[in-house]
Chain A
Amino acid sequence: MAINKAIDYKLKVKPSYMRLIHSSAYEGPCRLGEEEQLTTEFDEKIGAEKYKMFKETLDKVYNKKYIEFLPSELITWTDQFILKNEELKKITDAVGKADLFLFDGVFHQFPAMEISENFKVPVGVIGCCASTDAVAGLRNIGLESYGYIDAEDANRQLKYMQVKHALKHTRALVILKNDIVSKGVLSTVTNLQNVTRDLGVKFTFINAEDLFDAMKAYTPEQKQEAEKTAKDILDSSEKSDMSLEDIEKSTKFFVVIKSLLEKYECNAFTMPCFEVCATRKFNDEFQCTPCLTHTLLKEMGIPSACESDINALLAMTVLMYLTRKAPHMGNTHPLANEIKLNESSPAGLESVPEIEGKDNIMSTWHAVQTRKMHGIDSPMDKFSIKAFTHSGWGATLRHDFSKDIGETITLVRFHPNGKEMLVVKGEIVAGAGENTTGCSTGIYYSVKNSKEFFKQMLNFGHHYTWVYGDYIEELKDLGDVLGLKIVTL
């Protein structure tokens, strides 16, 4: 059994091309031309010609990595302006199979309207002027519909639909200890029923004791996998302060969590570090921290957030599905250099010379960076292995972020109400903490206005998920599709 990764979900699209056949050759306010091009025969042939081009466009323009087209249909209607059942049936057969019905052609707002009104399925309409006409009409009566300028625009926007449906196929495994709200993350999303209703993300909770039992039930096969994973990590690292045996204690936890994800048919993960830490199981028995597991799951395309932060987990899920990059997440705080207080020195992340005297500097840090931050399908970034604890256990992977100075990044966090996302663009000005213990590895970066960012953080919270690149505009568009309010600086 394997984990069914939602990031790989393919959007099922039913494409249809609508042609209009006039019953005879006539000119008037709706059509004009030479007699030969007003004939029924011309309409039939030009319809077939354009349908062929439509199919070629489906092949050439659309990204099949995330779109799966169901068989396309040529729908015909006449100047009686009635869509006959026989024609409509060509597309209604796909109800229940397609995530979106895509229309192009002539007067194609009408089949879109018919199928949307009758079956309440999402429709996408391409081109002038059916897209704006249909979507404005359908949205006015509360029906889900999308308009696209042309095929290129449709291809771009179908990625957002893929993210929307990938979210619907996401089920997070949450380890429960004491309270649903971890004590370090009061700003988490607490109304999970709303999250499931609005975004489709589902949650499965298991008690921490079930996790401890699973660790005890470690099988020879799991041990073999943990050994191999540990060896692969050690062999590909640039440096390590840990032995293979110590790293294997952390990969054991990763393998057990993977088996729990499989068992509960989940494909996202979070757990309350503080509360589970307080059981002393990590210290006395497992000799690991969850950090490496978060890192390795994210590298596989499985969202995995620290500290039972559902809010960060949702932000990570959205960002990961949109970008196919394995994000970092961490505590975030401004340096407040503008105010020049003694307390302006960084908390949690070592100070570095590059930030001295600079304004609008933010910091984000946690020991959960990944080697796939430039893309899950890209080559691995360079990294080292560092123990989380002073006692020398708890493998974490560390990246020297100072090598990424000047790179643009995008940070995201959900609002505790689950209905808004704060998205912020920054530029890395320094890396720090590669050789320190604990959570303290991360970045300093400049933003447009750190005071404004902090004001928004007071509404959104402290853990931010980030990836390389500028995704602000994409996230704004995605927000429209997901029904989320997007807040920017």
Chain B
Amino acid sequence: MDNKIFETILKRKKEKTKLVKTLSQCSLGDAECLINGFEKYISNRFLISIEDLKKERNIIELAKIAISKSENLGLDNINYKDVKDCSGTTSSMTRKILLIIAIEKDFNIKFTDKESSEIETIEDLVKVFSLKRSNDVV
């Protein structure tokens, strides 16, 4: 693997480890801390800027931005790249689900399939995440 790519991946992994730690330290009622933390977490995973996250809150749409950036495409052309596979799954859906699975692993929580499907925005994510964590505390 190219050294530069390897270094970038390693850097992202380290950043993510820090973000997981920071997010874990947010108190359950501190929505601002959680939102800021997850914005950075998603930015790190999708390789998109915090500015993008300020403009767009829907995770599927953010995944489309990520795809457009990785493919050097304008957003107008994203639908050509956000293709469905044989089972009808789009690239943006896949990225969203992989994000959810990553959060489950990083924070040792488990979203039900229904909860996972109901997470549409960063705010939804924070809401369901807080609920899960509070249940764990109880």
CA distance A105 to B114 in the complex (A): 17
Interface of A is mostly: helix
Q: How far is the CB of B8 from chain A (nearest CB, A)?
A: 18
Binds A, one of B36-44, B45-53, B89-97, B123-131: B89-97
A50 touching B114, Cβ below 8 Å: no
Among A33, A36, A106, contact of B101 (Cβ-Cβ < 8 Å): A36
Size bracket of the B interface: 10 to 19
B100 touching A106, Cβ below 8 Å: no
B113 touching A50, Cβ below 8 Å: no
Q: How far is the CB of B22 from chain A (nearest CB, A)?
A: 24
A45 touching B88, Cβ below 8 Å: no
Q: How far is the CB of B122 from chain A (nearest CB, A)?
A: 17
Instruction: Answer yes or no: B9 CB below 8 A from chain A CBs.
Output: no
* Chain A contacts with B in 28-42, Cβ cutoff 8 A: 33, 36-37, 39, 41-42
Instruction: Answer yes or no: B77 CB below 8 A from chain A CBs.
Output: no
A106 touching B87, Cβ below 8 Å: yes
- The contact string, 1 if C-beta is below 8 Å from chain A, for chain B 35-71, is 0000000000000000000000000000000000000
CA distance A373 to B87 in the complex (A): 46
Instruction: Give the number of residue pairs across the A-B interface with Cβ within 8 Å.
Output: 44
* Chain A contacts with B in 19-64, Cβ cutoff 8 A: 20, 33, 36-37, 39, 41-42, 44-52
B87 touching A41, Cβ below 8 Å: no
A45 touching B100, Cβ below 8 Å: yes
B101 touching A48, Cβ below 8 Å: no
Instruction: Answer yes or no: B117 CB below 8 A from chain A CBs.
Output: yes
Who on chain B is nearest to A32 by CB? B85
CA distance A105 to B89 in the complex (A): 10
Q: How far is the CB of B74 from chain A (nearest CB, A)?
A: 25
A48 touching B87, Cβ below 8 Å: no
* Chain A contacts with B in 62-111, Cβ cutoff 8 A: 105-106
A106 touching B88, Cβ below 8 Å: yes
Q: How far is the CB of A90 from chain B (nearest CB, A)?
A: 16
A42 touching B88, Cβ below 8 Å: no
Instruction: Answer yes or no: B83 CB below 8 A from chain A CBs.
Output: no
CA distance A47 to B116 in the complex (A): 10
Among A46, A105, A127, contact of B94 (Cβ-Cβ < 8 Å): A46
Q: Which residues of A contact B89 (CB under 8 A)?
A: 46, 50
A49 touching B116, Cβ below 8 Å: yes
B101 touching A49, Cβ below 8 Å: no
Q: How far is the CB of A104 from chain B (nearest CB, A)?
A: 8
Instruction: Name the residue in B96, B97, B118 with the highest tally of chain A Cβ atoms < 10 Å from its Cβ.
Output: B97
A42 touching B117, Cβ below 8 Å: no
Interface of B is mostly: helix
CA distance A106 to B116 in the complex (A): 19
B117 touching A49, Cβ below 8 Å: yes
Among A41, A45, A106, contact of B117 (Cβ-Cβ < 8 Å): A45
Instruction: Answer yes or no: B75 CB below 8 A from chain A CBs.
Output: no
Q: Which residues of A contact B87 (CB under 8 A)?
A: 20, 106
Q: How far is the CB of B39 from chain A (nearest CB, A)?
A: 22
Q: How far is the CB of A81 from chain B (nearest CB, A)?
A: 14
B97 touching A46, Cβ below 8 Å: yes
A44 touching B98, Cβ below 8 Å: no
CA distance A147 to B36 in the complex (A): 47
Q: Which residues of A contact B98 (CB under 8 A)?
A: 36-37, 42
Among A36, A37, A52, A127, contact of B88 (Cβ-Cβ < 8 Å): A127
Q: How far is the CB of A107 from chain B (nearest CB, A)?
A: 8
Q: How far is the CB of A34 from chain B (nearest CB, A)?
A: 8
Q: Which residues of A contact B94 (CB under 8 A)?
A: 33, 37, 46
B88 touching A49, Cβ below 8 Å: no
A50 touching B88, Cβ below 8 Å: yes
Q: How far is the CB of B104 from chain A (nearest CB, A)?
A: 8
Among B93, B100, B101, B118, contact of A50 (Cβ-Cβ < 8 Å): B93
A47 touching B113, Cβ below 8 Å: yes
Q: Which residues of B contact A42 (CB under 8 A)?
A: 97-98, 101
* Chain B contacts with A in 1-16, Cβ cutoff 8 A: none
Known contacts A37-B98, A105-B88, A106-B87, A48 near B93 by CB under 8 Å: no
Could you name 21 residue pairs across A and B whose Cβ atoms are closer than 8 Å? A20-B87, A36-B98, A37-B94, A37-B98, A41-B101, A42-B98, A44-B113, A45-B97, A45-B111, A45-B116, A46-B93, A46-B97, A47-B113, A48-B113, A48-B116, A49-B93, A49-B116, A49-B117, A105-B88, A106-B88, A127-B88
Q: A48-B114, A49-B97 are in contact. List 9 more A-B contacts (CB 8 A).
A: A20-B87, A37-B98, A45-B97, A47-B113, A49-B116, A49-B117, A51-B117, A52-B117, A106-B88
10 smallest CB-CB distances across A and B, nearest first, come from A48-B113, A48-B117, A52-B117, A106-B87, A45-B97, A45-B116, A49-B117, A46-B97, A44-B113, A46-B89
Residues of A within 8 A of B (CB): 20, 33, 36-37, 39, 41-42, 44-52, 105-106, 127
